[in-house]
Structure 1
Amino acid sequence: MRYCKDCEPAQEIHSIAYLSVVLGWIDQPFFDFMEMIFHSTAEAISRKISIPFFKLMTALRLGYFTDKPDEKDSWRTRCFWEEAERRGIRVREFHLGPIRDAFIAEYLPRLGTGKAGRTIIFDGLPRPGYKESAALKWMDNKGVMKKKFMQEDLPVARGGVAFTQKRALEIFNSIQKPVITKPNLGSRSRHTLIHIDTKEKLIYGFKKAKKLSPLVVVEEELRGLLFRGTLVGGKLVGVVRRDQPEVTGDGVHTVRELLEKENERPERQGPIFHKIIIDPDALVELGREKISMDDIPPKGRVITFSQKTSRGIGGTTTEVTDIVHPDNVEMLERVGKFLDDSLVGVDFIMEDIGKSWREEQHSGIIECNSLPFIDLHHYPLNGRPNNIAGKLWDLVMPESKSTF
């Protein structure tokens, strides 16, 4: 796979990502029709044949099970797996070639507890029951999400979705600057460009996003900090602030010296958080901020080195659940209620999470995730860890609560 800076922190094969979107457009009407006719039957069949299929593939040596996370499993997988083990839930992951993230979880209560055992099958993260929310079909589609949320009076950035460069420019000319461009489908800020205030930058950002998706989102750039809220069972159970790779001036040391000191922190030596890297993109970002590595920033000034918040390039997380304003809790839980899904990650931008979103003109939701990275709450750089995996297992297998 050819390395792509814009795909950080997780590489994508551009042609496959693009083709998967196109194929989704083509086959979705057929699958929607089949689901409408055979939905309940398909679910029942799936529940009955999945485990026998896994066992058959294993017997034929085409697939295999693992009962511990390995280095290829994400931190999201590791934290819910570790929590399951603490509760006496046995988790196994099925592998078929390069395909993974199919799990079997078995709860076997201790003798004498009077509790019945239970087995569930899931992809990625567990959800209660077998019924899927209808929103799962469009939750990750940023353009569709924007339209639906606007109809529900939920805060989102003004903008639209463009297939052609001409349409992208039309949207650009109709909304407030600066704007951002990003693929209509996808996550983790891949091929996203921010701070766009000229036609030339817009075209560059459009072409960048177009490599991963036929449709490109063009929308106003919201002002503030990036937060991730996670809802389990419709309730907001955690919020983290996600910061770009940055240092804060003290009025004494240069940017270079502040960076060297920050990179010496033990937490930044891996495997979750990493050192801040100075590369050509970082120097461009410093240029945008009109500061150099040898300048001394005034006390309190924040200097950022990237447009992204990925931990792999030096981004950080801070647990802020306890200071979220009640209006923001209510707004996020309205999102969960509207989506009618038991597990949702919501990315939103605000200047101050302790104030109501209604007081901020340029705050809003930027995307929702049906398979959220709950590990962001488990391993914050700053603040107390928040056991979201435990809250999820409480919902999925409540009988396991008192086993540890």
Structure 2
Amino acid sequence: MKFLKKNLYSYISKKFMDGCTNYNSLEVRKSCRSKEQARDTFAANDIPHAKGEIFLNPLTAHKFAKEHGFPLVIKPNVGGFSRGSYFPIKNFKELWKAIFLAKIWWPTSVVEQYLEGKNYRVLVANGKVVSVIERFAPFVKGNGQNTISELIDEENEIRRKMGLFGCMSPLQKSTQTTDFLARSNYDLNSIPAENEHVKLFHRIALAPGGVVEAISQKEVAADNLVLMEKTIKAFGANILGIDVILEKGIDVSHKDQKCILLEVNSRPYVKMHDYPRYGEKDDLTAVFAELEQLEIQGADVF
């Protein structure tokens, strides 16, 4: 059985986790893997997080929505890369659709409150914050002259020249994009106004063409750095990718705004920290040199 687990984990790592680190013990990875376990750790350590419930029966999520209202997020209880995650969910029709789609990825699911704000991935290693990026859903910026289709082509050419396609995906002109644009009375031939920000899809993820901006730690409020370092200590981890939403931004103390930690990633996708569309990437060479010296218990077992 142990041999089978090792081979299965090796396959999963190669197939789905290219660009992810593996510097945490099996015990730590287990504590982060389940959204329920992570939420329990957040609560025990007074770390701000969203109210939520784990459910098998979809009626549980429906009841949660009636009690807490929208927007909400539905995601698999075990997962990563935003696979099977749906947000922001703004009504019961979207809720029921998301419930059944999420179960394709895992039988038990999570329903949580969703905060409209700025979305960040904070990389914490060796007890310290080492890199911060802000994440954006795919978008184009209007100039008052070009169509959305032309703006997509221009942005994709910029990404190609920057060498970003080793990590993120090009913007799309798919049915997914046109359907999303139609909700705002746009199509690919629409001409956005000067500096108008036009979202092409709701998901803040790299696969549909989302981008990242590197944020200097000098711009991060001191209280927020302390919170992230408190979080890695609570999980006893060597490295974590912490997903956090802040209503006003990471330059404002979490004590002075709404803030929720969404989840912690024990095998964070660090590759995206090397491919910012905006800002200067952090040099993490020394960080990983130190992590490489560690002996990791159960590193090859899921």
TM-score scaled by length of structure 2? 0.83
Question: What does residue 90 of structure 1 align with?
Answer: none
Could you tell me whether the CA contact under 8 Å between 1:377 and 1:385 is conserved in 2? yes
Deviation of 1:133 (Å): 7.6
284 and 153 in structure 1: CA distance in 2 versus 1, 3 angstrom threshold? farther
Distance in structure 2 (CA, Å) of the matches to 1:167 and 1:75: 35
The SS at the match of 1:139 is: helix
| Residue 378 of structure 1: aligned partner | 274
Aligned equivalents of 1:324, 1:252: Cα separation in 2: 36
Distance 1:207 1:312, change over 3 A: closer
What is the CA-CA distance between 1:202 and the residue it aligns to?
1.1
Q: Return the offset for 1:152.
A: 2.2
Cα distance in 2 for partners of 1:394, 1:329 equals 20
Q: AA paired with 1:298?
A: A
Residue 353 of structure 1 corresponds to 250
Q: Does 2:260 correspond to 1:367? A: no
Q: Are 2:91 and 1:209 aligned?
A: no
CA deviation digits over 1:106-142, x for unaligned, max 9?
A: xxxxxxxxxxxxxxxxxx5346xxxx48443221211
Structure 1 outlier segments of 4+, above 4 Å: 71-75
- Tell me the residue number matched to 2:11: none
Aligned residue runs from structure 1 range 306-325, under 5 A: 306-322=201-217, 323-325=219-221
| Inter-partner Cα distance in structure 2 for 1:248 and 1:326 | 32
Separation in structure 1 between the aligned mates of residue 211 and residue 179 of structure 2, nearest angstrom: 20
1:227 alignment partner, SS class: strand
**8 Å Cα contact 1:377-1:388 kept in structure 2:** no
TM-score by length of 1: 0.63
Residue deviations 1:178-215 (CA, integer Å, cap 9, x gap): 11111111011111111322222211110011111121
Greater RCO, CA 8 A, separation 6+: 2
**Residues 124-182 of structure 1, C-alpha deviations (whole Å, 9 max, x = no match):** 5346xxxx484432212112212331332211122211110111111111113111111
Q: Which residue of 2 aligns with 1:150?
A: 43
Question: 2:237 aligned with 1:341, yes or no?
Answer: yes
Cα displacement string for residues 265-301 of structure 1 (whole angstroms, at most 9, x for unaligned residues)? 1236733333201212112222334433233333333
Structure exhibiting the larger radius of gyration computed from Cα positions: 1
- C-alpha separation in 2, matches of 1:368 and 1:389: 22
Superposition pairs of residues 71-110 of structure 1, within 5 angstroms: 76=19
1:393 maps to 289
For 2:297, the equivalent position in structure 1 comes to: none
Deviations 1:50-101 (A, max 9, x none): 9xxxxxxxxxxx9xxxxxxxx9796526xxxxxxxxxxxxxxxxxxxxxxxx
Output aligned runs, 1:4-403, within 5 Å. 76=19, 124-126=21-23, 132=25, 134-265=27-158, 266-267=161-162, 270-322=165-217, 323-350=219-246, 351-361=248-258, 363-397=259-293
Q: CA deviation at 1:368?
A: 0.6
| Paired residues, number | 281
State the secondary structure of the residue aligned to 2:111. Answer: strand
CA distance in 2, matches of 1:233, 1:159: 30
CA contact (8 A) 2:133 2:213 kept: yes
Secondary structure of the 1:194 match is strand
For structure 2, the 5+ residue unaligned runs are: 8-13, 295-302
Identical residues among aligned pairs (%): 24
Q: Retained in 2: the 8 A contact 1:267–1:273?
A: no
Which of 310-319 and 153-162 deviates more?
Answer: 310-319
How much is the aligned-residue C-alpha RMSD, in angstroms?
A: 2.7
Q: Letter of the 1:380 partner, please give it.
A: P
CA distance in 1, matches of 2:255, 2:184: 29
